[in-house]
Amino acid sequence: MIAIFRNAFSRSRGQILGWGISLGLYGLFLVQFYDTLAKQQEQIVQLLNSYPPEMMAFFGDAVNIASPAGYLSLEFFSYAPLLVGIYAVLAGSGLLAEDEEKGTLDLMLAHPVSRTGLFVGRLLAFVASAVGLLAIAWLGFVTGKRWSESFDLSGGELALPFLSLLAVVLFFGMLALLLSMLLPSRRLAATVAGLVLVASFFVVGLARINDDLKNIVRFSPLYYYQGGDAISGLNGEWFFGLLAVAALFTLLAWRRFERRDIRVGGEGGWRFIEFFYKEKQL
C-alpha cells in the first residue's frame, strides 16, 4: 500500500504544484491589491451595485467588500469551488479508472496487492494531494499579507475557508470516483460529476434571488460550502456533513471496486442494477 501511495502521490506532484502555485500566486496578488481597493472602496461598491443582481447573486453579499473577509469572498472564495471542483472531478474520476482504461491496473493487480490496498493507497494519495494543493494556495494568501498594511486576517482565519474548500474537493472527488466505478468510462463519470458541480453552483447562486429555489437548494452540495463566511467561524455541521457524504461515496466506490471485474478495453458496461446484488462467488 505504501508503494501504491508513493507512486500515486508522486504522479500527482505536477498537478499539486500547478494548481497550488497558480492559486497561491493569485492569492498573493489579491491580498496585496486589498490596500488599493480599501482606499477606493466607495467607488467599487457603487460599481458593484450597478451590476445586475442575478450576476452578483453568484458572489454573495457584495457590500461586504470593504472587509478583508468580504473582499476575499467576492474575489476568490465565491467561485473557488468551481475551480477546485474541476480538479477534484478530474482527479477523482481518474483515481482508478484512468489506469484501468489504460490497461496498467491489470498488471498492477496481478501482483500481490489487494484491491483494498490499492484503493486505500490511491485514496490517501488523493487526499494528500488535495491537502497539499490547498495548503500551497493558502500559503500564497498568507505570504501576501506581508506586503499589505490593512489586510488584518490571521493565517488561522484564512485557513478556515480552505478547510471548507477541502470538504468540497473531497465531496466531488469521491462522487467522481464512485461514478467511475459505476459508469462505463472515466470520461462519462467526469462529465456527470462535472454537471453536478456546475448545476450545484448555479442553483446556490440563483437561490439567493429566487425564492422558488429555496426548497431544492438544500439538496445542492455547494449549499454547504461556506466560502469566505468561514473566516468568521467554520460551520462544523456543514463541514463534517460534506465529509460524511464523501466518506459514504468512498465506501460505496470501495465496495464496488472490491467486487467487480477489472476491465480491459471493451468490457465496460452499465452496472447500476448489478451493484445492488451480491455478485456470484465461485
**What's the grid cell of residue 154?**
490571521
**8-state DSSP, 51:** S
Binding of other proteins by 261 (CB under 8 A): yes
3 state DSSP class of 43: helix
| Share in percent of the chain as helix, strand, coil (round to 5) | 80, 0, 20
From residue 79 to residue 118, the character string flagging contacts with other proteins as x (rule: CB under 8 A) and all else as - is -----------------------xxx-xxxxxxxxx----
What is the number of other CB atoms lying within 10 angstroms of the CB of residue 186? 24
Using the contact rule CB under 8 A, the part of the chain among 3-11, 55-63, 65-73, 189-197 near other proteins is 3-11
Residue closer to other proteins (CB basis): 106 or 152: 106
Residue 199 Cβ vs other proteins, minimum distance, rounded to whole Å: 31
35 vs 279, beta carbon nearer other proteins? 279
CB nearer to other proteins: give 195 or 264. 264
CB of 1 to other proteins, least distance (A): 10
At residue 119, the 3 state secondary structure works out as helix
Of 15, 256, 259, 275, the one binding other proteins (CB under 8 A) is 259
Q: How far is the CB of 135 from other proteins (least distance, A)?
A: 24
Between 44 and 83, how does the x/- string for binding to other proteins read (CB under 8 A)?
A: ----------------------------------------
Instruction: Report the alpha-carbon distance of residue 108 to residue 119 in Å, rounded.
Output: 12
3-state secondary structure 161-202: HHHHHHHHHHHHHHHHHHHHHHCCCHHHHHHHHHHHHHHHHH
Query: Considering only 28-36, 65-73, 226-234, 254-262, which stretch makes contact with other proteins by CB under 8 A?
Result: 254-262
The DSSP secondary-structure symbol of 111 reads S
Nearest residue to 217 (alpha-carbon basis) of 104, 209, 99: 209
Cα 214 to the center of its chain, rounded Å = 23
User: Between residues 114 and 154, which has the closer beta carbon with respect to other proteins?
Assistant: 114
User: Taking CB under 8 A as the criterion, which residues in 113-142 touch other proteins?
Assistant: 113-114
- How near is the Cβ of 221 to other proteins at its closest, in Å? 33
Overall size of the chain counted in residues: 282
Contact 70, 64 (CB under 8 A): yes
Q: What is the spatial distance between Cα 145 and Cα 72, in angstroms, rounded to a whole number?
A: 13
CA–CA separation, 136 vs 146, rounded Å? 16
Residue 82, C-alpha cell as written in the block: 468551481
Size of the site for other proteins (CB under 8 A): 28
Binding mask 263-282 for other proteins (x = CB under 8 A): -xx-x-x---------xxxx
Closer to other proteins at the Cβ: 115 or 187?
115
| CA 80 remoteness from chain centre | 9
Q: Which of residues 108 and 209 has its CB atom nearest to other proteins in the complex? A: 108
Q: Which of residues 7-36 bind other proteins (CB under 8 A)?
A: 7, 11
Given the rule CB under 8 A, which residues bind other proteins? 3-4, 7, 11, 102-104, 106-114, 259-262, 264-265, 267, 269, 279-282
